[in-house]
Structure 1
Amino acid sequence: VDSAVELPVLDNEMFHSIKPGLSAYADFPEMAGHTVRMLLKVAKKTVPRLEWKRTPVFLRATAGLRLLPTEKAHALLNEVQHVFVESPFLVTDNCVTIMNGTNEGNVCPPSALRGSTSFMGILDLGGGSTQITFLPRLRKTIETVPVTDYVARFDIFNTTFELYTYSYLGNGLMVARLATLGALGGEGLEWQVFKSPCLPKKFRDEWSFGGVTYQVSGDPEGYAGFKLCYEQVLKVVKGIIHQPYEIEDSNVFYAFSYYFDRAVEAGLIDGVQGGTLEVRDFKKRAKEVCNKMAKYPLNSPFLCMDLTYIACLLKDGFGFKESTVLQLTKKVNNVEASWALGATLEHFHNLKIH
C-alpha cells in the first residue's frame, strides 16, 4: 500500500434514509414502491431539474432481500423498477438488483479510511449481514485472506486500491438472534417456542423477521445471564468470522448501524452525537444488562442478547483487542458512511470498463 498516493475526496452529497428497509414489505410490495417514491422526492429537490434526464438512478438491495424467498424478493425489485420507470431520472439496464457482499462492504471511499496518524476501518452491522472494511497497511493482510473474495480492487484516477472487505451473510443482528434461538431452518417454526438464557425469564412474546413470526421466551425454569448467553452466542460466531492479520494492531474502527443503535439503547453513547467506546465497553454493559434482566423494562427484551452478540462478534469473531477504540457515529470525515457510496464507486468503475 502506497501511503503517498493522493486519495480522492467526496465533494458533496445528499444522504437520506427511511426505515424500515424494503425487506419489511415482503408481503406488501406496493408499500416498498411508496418508500422509493419518497426517496425520489428528495432526489428531485437535490438534483437540478435540467439534470434529471441524465442522472442515473439505481437500487442495490442488501442482505435483507438476499434472505427472502426468491419470489418475494423479485416482487419487491419489480415494484421498484416500475417506480423508477415512472420517474424523470435516467433508467439503465440492471439498475435494480440485489448487491453482492463485497459491494456492501465498500461503505466509503479510501480517503475516509486513512487518518493522518492512525489505522482506521469500518464496521457495519445490519439485520441480515455484517461487514468489515479497511485499507491494509501490511501486504501480509492481503496475502493471508481465506479466499480472494475478501479483497476488493478498484481504480480511481488511474490508481488501484486494495481494500480488505467482506460481508458475512447470516451474521447480521436479526439473523444472529434466530441462530442463537435455534430458529434457523426447518418447518413449522411459527408453532414452536424458542427459549434462551439471553432473554428475561418471564418474557414471552411474538417476534417477526423476514416475513416469519416466531414465538420466543425466556426459560422460567432454567438459568439466565451473561455467561450462559455468551456460550450460546459464541456458537453463532466461532469458526465463521475470519480474523484479519493486522486486526489486533488496529487503533480506531468506525462502527455503524446496529452497533450505534444498541450502544444508544444501552446508554453507552449519545443518540445524536455518538461517542467513543472500547470493545470492552460492550462486554461490560452486556454483563450488566444480562445479569440484571429482571430490572430492565420488557420493551428491550433482546438487549442482553444483542449486546452479548456484539461483544462476541468483535472479540471472538473479528479478533479485536478489548482496548480497540470504536468510534460510534453516522459519518466519517463528514461523509455519510454507507454502502451506497461504495455502490456508486462500483457504478463509475463499470462505466469506465464498458
Structure 2
Amino acid sequence: MAEQREMKEKNPWHSAVVILITVLGITAIVALVTTAVLQNKPLLQKYKYGIVLDAGSSHTAVYIYEWPAEKENDTGRVHQKHICKVLGPGISSYSHSPELAGESLRTCMKQAERFVPIRRHRETPLYLGATAGMRLLSMENQNVCDQVLGSVEKVLRSTPFSYQGARIISGQEEGAFGWITINYLDDRLKQGSGTTGALDLGGASTQITFATNQEGMGESAENTVTFRLYGNDYILYTHSFLCYGKDQALKKTLAQQAQVGNSSVLDPCFNEGYSVDRNYSSVYSSPCIMAGKPLETGYSFTHIGKGDASQCQQAIRRIFTNPGCNFSRCSFNGVYQPPIQGPFGAFSAFYFVMNFLNLTSDSLEGTREKMERYCSTPWHQIKQQHPGVKEKYLAEYCFSGNYILSLLTDGYKFTSETWSTITFIKKISGSDAGWTLGYMLNLTNMIPAEAPDSPPLPHAGYVTLLLFISLVIFVIFLFSVKSLWPRCTTQTQII
C-alpha cells in the first residue's frame, strides 16, 4: 500500500493530463459559445438607395427609397426614406415653356443629394415616370411632349445619380405597379395569401386593379396582367380611365353644365354662396372635353355654387357614358370588369379627399349623409372652418367627395356591402401608397419570381444544435478519460 502511494507520487503525469484536457475542453466550449454569440451580433447595416420621380398631372414628387445592401434580392424590405414635393404644377403644365419643366426639379434633386450618402450617389438608380398629364399632352402635341421630356432628361442627367430614363408609363402599368406597392408593403406577396386590390385617383386618370381568377379574364385580354412573385402566380384585372381623374372629371362635369352658353352656371357641386368668374377656354381647352365650346357665348361666365349633393351626383353620372356593354359585365364606358373581389386600398386623391371630409371610416349610407350636410353648408362657413386651406382647393371638396362616391358606386360597382372592404390609406409601414415603389421594384428586379431558398434550420436552431452536440462530445470525452484511469494505475503498479 505504501509502495503504490509512493509510485503515484513518483508518476503524477496522469493528474496533469486530466487537468490539461479538462481546461482545453472547457476552453473549447467557451470558444464555441463565444463564436455563436459573435455570429449573432448585429453588424453595422449598409444600405442601398433608389430614386423615383412621380411626374403627375398636378404636381411632381421625388421619392427616395432605402434597403439593406446585403439583402437586395432576398428578404430586404425596401422602405421610403424621404419624399420631396416639387414646387409648382406638373411637368405637363410647362407646354408653353418646356425648358422650365426640368428646372423645376432642381431643388428636390439637390435635396436628394443630401439624403443619399455621397459614396452611394453613382450607384443609385434614378427614374422618372410620367402619368396621365403627359399622356394627355402627347395626345395634344407630341412635339411639345418630347421637348418637356428632353428638358427633364437634361436636368436629371446632370445629377450625380445613375440616371435610368424618363418616360410616360401606361395606365395599365400605373395600376399594376400601385397594386404591387400596397401588397409588397403589406407583406402579402411573400405570404402567398389573399391580396389587396388597388384604387388610385389622380388629377387626370383613375385606376382599378385587383387579383382575380382565370375564369372570365379571356373576355378582355388588354385588361389582364400576370405576375410571378415569390413563387406565386397572380392574374390581375387592371384598367386606367384617362380623363376621369379628379381634375379632368371636374372639367367634364362643368363643361356639360356650361354647354348652353349662359353668362352664369348654377353648379350643385359647389357650396351655396360660392361665385367666381371663369374663362370658357379654361374649361374647354382639355383634350378630355370632346364637345366644343358653345358658339353663342361670351369670353367668360360666372360659376355660382348651389350646394346640392344629390343633384351634383346626377350631374356627375352624365359624364359616365353608357354605349352598351359587349361583355358579360362592365364598369362604365363599355369597359369590361369582373366582379369585385377581396379588400381594396384606396390611395392618392381617394385618401386626401375622404380624409379631409372625415369619411375614411363611414358606411356608404353614412358617407352620403355627410356629403349632403357638407355640400349644403354655406361657402362662408366652409371658409371659416378651414382658414388654412387655399380657396381653389377648398371650393372643390363638395364636387370631389361626390365624384368619389359616384365613381366607386356607379362606376366600379361597389355596393353597401362591398363598401366596407375599402380602406382609404396614405401610407403603409411608413411608405406612401402609390405606383412609384412598385415601379422601382420591377425595374431593379427587387422582387424575385421564385421564393429564395432557406436553410433547413433557422440560425438559432443551428446554434442550439451545435452546442448540444459539443456538449455530448465533451461528456463522452470525459468518460473516455475516466475509463483510462484504472489502466494507467494498474500499469504503474506492475512496473
TM-score class normalised by the smaller sequence: 0.7 to 0.9
Between the aligned partners of 1:8 and 1:154, the Cα distance in structure 2 is: 19
What code does the residue aligned with 1:301 have? A
Render the CA deviation track for 1:207-260: whole Å, top value 9, x for unaligned: 6689879755127xxx7512221111012235327574331x53x322212122
Render the CA deviation track for 1:43-87: whole Å, top value 9, x for unaligned: 323433233223321211011222233244333211111101211
Return closer, same or farther for 1:253/1:199 CA change in 2, 3 Å cut-off.
same
The match for 2:432 among 336, 343, 352 is: 336
The match for 1:58 among 127, 131, 136 is: 127
Secondary structure of the corresponding residue to residue 161 of structure 2: coil
Structure scoring higher RCO (CA < 8 A, sep ≥ 6) equals 1
Q: Give the match for residue 492 of structure 2.
A: none
Q: Bigger shift: 231-240 or 206-215? A: 206-215
Render the CA deviation track for 1:88-123: whole Å, top value 9, x for unaligned: 12234xx11111101111213443464988652221
1:217 is the counterpart of 2:311: no
Return closer, same or farther for 1:255/1:280 CA change in 2, 3 Å cut-off.
farther
Between the aligned partners of 2:228 and 2:251, the Cα distance in structure 1 is: 39
The match for 2:402 among 295, 305, 308 is: 308
Q: Give the match for residue 352 of structure 2.
A: 261
The match for 2:226 among 139, 148, 153 is: 153
- Note the C-alpha offset of 1:337: 1.4
Return closer, same or farther for 1:111/1:224 CA change in 2, 3 Å cut-off.
closer
Give 1 or 2: higher helix fraction: 2
Contact 2:208–2:238, Cα closer than 8 Å, also in 1: yes
Secondary structure of the corresponding residue to residue 92 of structure 2: helix
1:131 is the counterpart of 2:207: yes
Aligned-residue sequence identity (percent) comes to 25
The match for 1:289 among 358, 374, 379 is: 374
Return closer, same or farther for 1:285/1:14 CA change in 2, 3 Å cut-off.
same
Q: Give the match for residue 49 of structure 1.
A: 118
Q: Which runs of 5+ in 2 are unaligned?
A: 1-73, 287-298, 322-331, 384-390, 449-495
After TM superposition, list the pairs within 5 Å mapping 1:131-280 onto structure 2: 131-136=207-212, 138-140=213-215, 143-144=216-217, 147-156=220-229, 160-182=233-255, 195-206=266-277, 215=301, 217-218=303-304, 225-237=308-320, 239-240=332-333, 242=335, 244-247=337-340, 250=342, 252-268=343-359, 276-280=361-365
Q: Give the match for residue 3 of structure 2.
A: none
- Note the C-alpha offset of 1:29: 3.7
Contact 1:58–1:96, Cα closer than 8 Å, also in 2: yes
- Note the C-alpha offset of 1:336: 2.3
Contact 2:132–2:204, Cα closer than 8 Å, also in 1: yes
Q: Which runs of 5+ in 1 are unaligned?
A: 1-6, 269-274
Between the aligned partners of 2:75 and 2:251, the Cα distance in structure 1 is: 41
Return closer, same or farther for 1:233/1:254 CA change in 2, 3 Å cut-off.
same
- Note the C-alpha offset of 1:178: 0.8
Contact 1:241–1:317, Cα closer than 8 Å, also in 2: no
Return closer, same or farther for 1:144/1:67 CA change in 2, 3 Å cut-off.
same
1:78 is the counterpart of 2:150: yes
Q: Give the match for residue 121 of structure 1.
A: 197
Between the aligned partners of 1:9 and 1:51, the Cα distance in structure 2 is: 18
What code does the residue aligned with 2:317 have? L
Return closer, same or farther for 1:17/1:285 CA change in 2, 3 Å cut-off.
farther
Q: Give the match for residue 96 of structure 1.
A: 166
Contact 2:273–2:378, Cα closer than 8 Å, also in 1: no
Count matched residues: 326
Return closer, same or farther for 1:228/1:35 CA change in 2, 3 Å cut-off.
same
CA-atom RMSD in angstroms: 3.7
Between the aligned partners of 1:149 and 1:185, the Cα distance in structure 2 is: 35
- The structure whose Rg is larger is 2
